[in-house]
Structure 1
Amino acid sequence: MEQSGTSALLQGAVQDLASDVVSALRGGDHVRMSGTSAMDDVEGSLILAAVRVLGADLLLPHVLFPTPPDPEALAAFRRTAEAYPPRPEAGPTVHWSHWAMRRTLARLGSPLPAPPGTDAGEPGTEWLETATWQVLTHQLAVLAALAVPGEDSAVARVARGRPVDLARGFVRAVRRRDWQQAAGAGRWLTVVDGVPDTLGLETGLDFVELMGGTDARVALQVQAARITRAAGALV
């Protein structure tokens, strides 16, 4: 029961943070995390865990818009990256998520060295290059924080090379009512070229947002996709 309660608290904290990011994306404002420096150990650990789940997307508004991050939000983001370095045996998406956080910190003028014993460069993409279109879509949705216009990475290059597979995965996720995966795949489809015109991505994103209901993580991905499209990304 205690573990279930902790999980529910974490999910709630993630949703709250994602809602803040969505508001900032819609209004071009700061992601606000006022009071985090004064939290007790339990509250602070919960916030850091929630930041870890959102990863680089926590500060996405400050990457897409020329607004400096709130100092407390930046500090919490940096503390999370420092507190949760990926273990050597961790899966590739964990390594890539941490790499994305370090890239965001560097872009915002607060660079963080790579964890001891790890390569400072990009993680590998071998597992992604040979993935089926179903696995590709799932993994890219997990790494949707890397789908940032104008930002290059090995993961983005794999995505750019498989737009039709990604489109198939988007449709499959919608049919399976997996709104988070559909939203993440849809976001990637706004930063790659060669997406089939018959996909109807804009209408599809509207539908995903509607069906995602109150899930702020779905809304975050859809809003990020819309900003990318408005900025003139190829679709």
Structure 2
Amino acid sequence: MYAEATADLARRVLDALHGVGGTAPLADFVDGCADPKAALAAVRVLGADTLAPQALTGAAAHPRDVAAIAQAAAVFPAPVFTQPPPAGLIENWTAAWRDWATTRLVAHHGGAVSEAAEPQAGPALTDARSWQRWSGMMAQLAPLSLPGVDGPVRDVARRNPVPLARGTTRAMLRRDHPTAARLVRWLAALVQERVPLPLDPLPIVDHIALHTGGGPRIALDLAVARRMLVAGAGAD
């Protein structure tokens, strides 16, 4: 049920990114879902990506959507890390980063919500020498590639375009399209910021779109990447 709700919400966010649907898609989704708890869980799973339309267009977040995000956080509290995580807690630590990004975007786009504490970075984030492991972690942090989420994670991405490109290429060779779609978002974000890359992200976006069965979450990742690539090209 939770997976279905997350897929449905991803479709709603993608529609909003394309200018389709109502002005408060998150609230409408929660209000109309047969299982409100599953709907709130979906809001938590997508995290900052629920505000991708606002991040990419500069629009304000609807107050009802902000209330839905706050309600989801109250029902499903995020973990808090005051120290860098031990190896077994990386997934909880990346969830804490995504929660921090969500509250940053809410505040950036006119909403009033308690800002989540910024997790400690530590070597798990800053050391990209083991690029296979590191790029897998950055895939989990893909929502932080959205405009308006500046901070330590984006700083590390700016410093490591080659490991990001290697991770994307590895995911493509392994036909791990969900991971590749998340990593190509980081490459698109670096294009938008004029960071030199060792490869062109656009053919990767096109390849994933052509060779996967789709699915709303991959479609959302690719739509976000395309928007950032267009913005980067338009600024030339």
The answer to whether the superposition gives a TM-score over 0.5 is yes
Structure 1 partner of 2:25: 32
Listed as ranges, the gaps of 5+ residues in structure 2 are 82-88
Is contact 1:92–1:124 with CA below 8 Å preserved after alignment?
no
In the alignment, the residues of structure 2 paired with residue 69 and residue 154 of structure 1 have an alpha-carbon distance, to the nearest angstrom, of: 24
Instruction: State the distance in 1 between where 2:159 and 2:49 align.
Output: 23
Alignment of 1:37-116 (within 5 A): 37=31, 43-88=35-80, 91-114=92-115
Distance 1:14 1:152 in 2: 26
Unpaired segments of 5 or more residues in structure 1? 1-8
Q: Which amino acid aligns with 2:121?
A: T
Identity, % of aligned pairs? 37
Alignment: residue pair count: 218
Matching residue within 185, 188, 194 for 1:187:
185
Q: In the alignment, what sits opposite 1:135?
A: 133
Provide the rounded CA distance (Å) in 1 between the counterparts of 2:30 and 2:59.
20
- Structure 1's consecutive aligned runs of 4 or more residues displaced over 4 angstroms after TM superposition are 28-31
Are the structure 2 counterparts of residues 28 and 155 from structure 1 closer, same or farther at C-alpha, using a change threshold of 3 Å?
farther
Match of residue 11, structure 1, among 3, 12, 32: 3
Match of 1:160 among 158, 168, 171: 158
RMSD: 2.4
* Matching of residue 173 in structure 1 with residue 171 in structure 2: yes
TM-score (norm 2): 0.83
| Deviations 1:128-164 (CA, angstroms, capped at 9, x unpaired) | 1124111221111111111023541100011111101
**Distance of 1:46 and 1:232 partners within structure 2:** 36
Amino acid at match of 2:104: R
Q: Structure 2 CA distance, aligned partners of 1:100 and 1:56?
A: 6
Flag the 1:148–1:87 CA change in 2: closer, same or farther, 3 A: closer
1:149 aligns with: 147
Q: In the TM superposition, what is the alpha-carbon distance from 1:191 to its structure 2 partner? A: 1.6
AA in 1 matched with 2:197: V
Q: Distance in 2 between matches of 1:57 and 1:16?
A: 13
Q: Which residue of 2 aligns with 1:231?
A: 231
CA deviation vs aligned residue, 1:188-231 (integer Å, no higher than 9, x gap)? 001221211xx232111111122332311111111111111111
Q: Work out the CA distance in 2 between the residues paired with 1:94 and 1:162.
A: 21
